[in-house]
Structure 1
Amino acid sequence: MGSSGHLLVAGADPALPARARSRLAELEALWSRFRADSELCRLNAAQGRWVTLSPPTMALVQRAVRAWEVTGGLFDPTVLPALEAAGYTRSFEVPPSEPPPESPSGARPRRAPGCAGIEIGDDRVWLPPGVRLDLGGIGKGYAADLVAEELLAAGAAGACVNLGGDVRAAGAAPGADAWVIAVEDEAHPGSDLAWLALARGAVATSTRLRRRWRRGGQELHHLIDPVSGAPADTSLATVTVVAAETHWAEVLAKAALIAGPSAGAALLEAHGVAGLLVTEDGTALRAGPWERFERWIPNCGGTSPVPAG
């Protein structure tokens, strides 16, 4: 899914971690927009026609459309053409020596069409002409949710799944009463902004400091403002959210970053989640019950921190 991951499984059949890795590879094959044979690419290529999808993809599309609705369009999975216009046309897994992404010839930013015209049946989806989906803003989180829940259902006592900084903690933490998750300082790699303690739940970080590139002397990033169709012009550098589910934390972190400091904090408060919003100059704004989860003591019951960001 274009990022590294960590998987911790407690009190389970030794074969479960390998099964979980296989499951993640399966989900990547379904949802990648960089694989021509993925279900997502097949759906995007069939605009104006119904497409039957697997249960995981159906569930993900439903959640993406719902996220668009409840965030007032701040989270918008229909920004794919705008992403491509900005130059994000290939996976960031390409070697660093490769040249930076370039915009398709003549491409210009344009407002995202939104999800209003998308039709969803029991096992199929219809996209209006001109609408294509990017599920990258919710897919890693939903994959972490699915795998953590499936590990518990398969007999694991506890599981912690971290996909590119989107973390789901479920069940019992080994040797402790909480999972300890380190939130990396994106402006200073190798340093942490905070350590969080969760008995269960999720943490996700959205940042414009990672997937970025320069074109024509201008720095661009992958977080698109659905209204302008251009990379979001915001003073926020990162937003970290604590919620019950990873895909929801991921959605709200992105929506809050696009909204900006005040509106972003208000959005998190309105949805009853905890958040840490960090501006370009390093100012940190806490939203919701953030202090309830924050821990700064390195040794917390013997559990090693899992980097989240």
Structure 2
Amino acid sequence: MAAEPAEARFPVMGSDGHLLVTGGSAPQLLSRARSRLEELESLWSRFRPDSELCRLNASQGRWVRLSEPTATLVRQAVRAWQATGGLFDPTVLPALEAAGYTHSFPSLPRDLPPTVTPPPAPAPGCAGIEMADYRVRLAPGVRLDLGGIGKGFAADLVAQELLAAGAEGACVNLGGDVRATGAAPGAGAWTVAVEDEARPGTDLAWLALADGAVATSTRLRRRWERQGQRLHHIIDPASGAPAAGAVATVTVVAGQTHWAEVLAKAALIAGLPAGRALLEAQGVAGLLVTEDGTAHRAGPWERYVTWTPNSGGTSPASAG
């Protein structure tokens, strides 16, 4: 039975970070994990001109040598583009900027001034990206945003590094993208709350994970307006415009956080019923919530659920 976990909360990657560690030298492990997350943010942020991502985006068709985590993340992003048939696409950065997402979200005005922008255009896709070991070459005109996979990949990486450094268990939560592994507090599984994005501060369900990941993609959280038009950060690669449709939020349970994050975004863009079919074809569990609040389950969702608002009783304490 693992003891009560040590924990730390801090802002990172434009989100709220929450780390839980059981066993080992917890204070040192938490400090190491926080430093690692800050290092990864410095490599992958599109808002830091000296980041590796910004250097890659400015390379204008030249080969760029990257660090191991950045090169691996780019490789995983391209694989995700292939696996989702282009629904997940890291080349949407120009479309994100055209929509007005040009600063980190905390500093982004919620009502942008009028501006002349080109009409939305489809994302170029990843077919022209070349990779060799830790070197990457982008096709001319292609620039990457890794925000749809980076937090999940960081959670996966840091959770495994915590175990390798001596932790008995770890739960890494980056803005609701959660990786839980190893010994949970008490004798049971890790418990992860799924927030109701339409009603902040309330939950849709509580999930039990022995070892796995949960990620949520929503167009209800990072939103702003320009000239009366409501915009958000989930870009449909096929149109280059913020995704429209009935599905507002998707939560996915998978083995790895970055894969759950990718599939949640892809299913939201695909909508119903295609998004549900995508999750079931990938063998993962999911919950797709439409704008009217209707929840549509995909795959073995009920296998993980331990509590819902309609199940009665008192919700358990969260471990993530």
Same fold at TM > 0.5: yes
Q: CA deviation at 1:5?
A: 1.1
2:112·2:227 contact (CA, 8 Å) conserved in 1? no
Aligned to 2:145: 134
Partner of 1:50: 63
Counterpart among 26, 47, 52 of residue 39 in structure 1: 52
1:174 equivalenced with 2:190 (yes/no): no
Percent same amino acid among aligned pairs?
Answer: 74
The amino acid across from 1:7 in the alignment is L
Q: Tell me, yes or no, if the aligned pair for 1:85 and 1:103 is still in contact at 8 Å.
A: no
- Give ranges in structure 1 of 5+ residues lacking alignment: none
Which has the larger displacement, 215-224 or 28-37?
215-224
Deviation at 1:110, TM superposition (A): 1.0
Q: Does residue 1:15 correspond to 2:58, yes or no?
A: no
In structure 1, how many angstroms separate the alpha carbons of the residues matched to 2:143 and 2:71? 15
CA distance in 2, matches of 1:71, 1:30: 25
Q: Deviations over 1:162-188 (max 9, x none)?
A: 001100001010113200000000001
Pairing 1:275–2:289 present: no
User: 1:217 deviation in Å?
Assistant: 1.1
What is the deviation of 1:106?
A: 2.9
Partner Cα separation in structure 2 for residue 175 and residue 291 of structure 1: 23
- The equivalent of 2:75 in structure 1 is 62
Give SS of 2:139's match.
Answer: coil
Report the residue type matching 1:277 in the other structure. Answer: L
Q: 1:41 to 1:140 in 2, by over 3 A?
A: same
Aligned length: 302
Q: Spell out, residue by residue over 1:40-89, the C-alpha distance to the aligned partner (whole angstroms, 9 max, x if none).
A: 00000002100000000011000000000000000000000000011111
Q: Distance in 2 between matches of 1:53 and 1:155?
A: 28
Tell me which of 88, 109, 119 is aligned to 2:101.
88
Shift of 1:306: 4.0
Separation in 2 of the partners of 1:189 and 1:78?
A: 30
Conservation of the 8 A alpha-carbon contact between 2:20 and 2:319:
no
TM-score computed with the length of structure 1 as normaliser: 0.95
Residue of structure 2 equivalent to 1:200: 211
Question: How far apart, in 1, do the equivalents of 2:89 and 2:233 lie?
Answer: 13
User: Does the 8 Å CA contact 2:253/2:285 hold for their aligned counterparts?
Assistant: yes
CA deviations 1:130-172 (Å, max 9, x no partner) are 0000000000000000000000000100000000110000101
Q: Is the 8 A contact 1:169 1:179 kept in 2?
A: yes
Task: Give the structure 1 partner of residue 40 of structure 2.
Answer: 27
Residue 299 of structure 1: CA displacement? 6.2
Q: 1: distance between equivalents of 2:299 and 2:100? A: 35
Structure 2, gaps ≥5 residues long:
1-12, 308-312
Distance in 2 between residues matched to 1:103 and 1:44, nearest whole Å: 27
Q: 1:284 aligns with which of 295, 300, 305?
A: 295
Q: Alpha-carbon deviations, 1:79-122, whole Å to 9, x = none?
A: 00000011111111227xx4534576433311100000000011
Find the counterpart in structure 2 of residue 189 from structure 1.
200
Distance of 1:49 and 1:89 partners within structure 2: 24
Q: Which residue of 2 aligns with 1:71?
A: 84
1:239 to 247, 250, 268: 250
Q: What is the RMSD computed on CA atoms of the aligned residues? A: 1.4
User: How far did residue 15 of structure 1 move?
Assistant: 0.6
CA distance in 2, matches of 1:101, 1:142: 31
Give secondary structure in 2 for the equivalent of 1:261: coil
CA contact (8 A) 1:89 1:101 kept: no
Q: Structure 1 residues 99, 181: closer, same or farther in 2, change over 3 A?
A: closer
Conservation of the 8 A alpha-carbon contact between 2:214 and 2:253: yes
Q: Provide the C-alpha distance between the structure 2 equivalents of 1:160 and 1:136, rounded to a whole number of angstroms.
A: 20
Alpha-carbon spacing, 1:116–1:34, altered in 2? closer, same or farther (3 Å): same
Distance 1:108 1:299, change over 3 A: closer
Please list, as runs of the form range in 1=range in 2, the aligned pairs for 1:249-264 lying within 5 A after superposition: 249-264=260-275
Q: Please identify, of 23-32 and 172-181, the stretch whose mean Cα deviation from structure 2 is larger.
A: 172-181
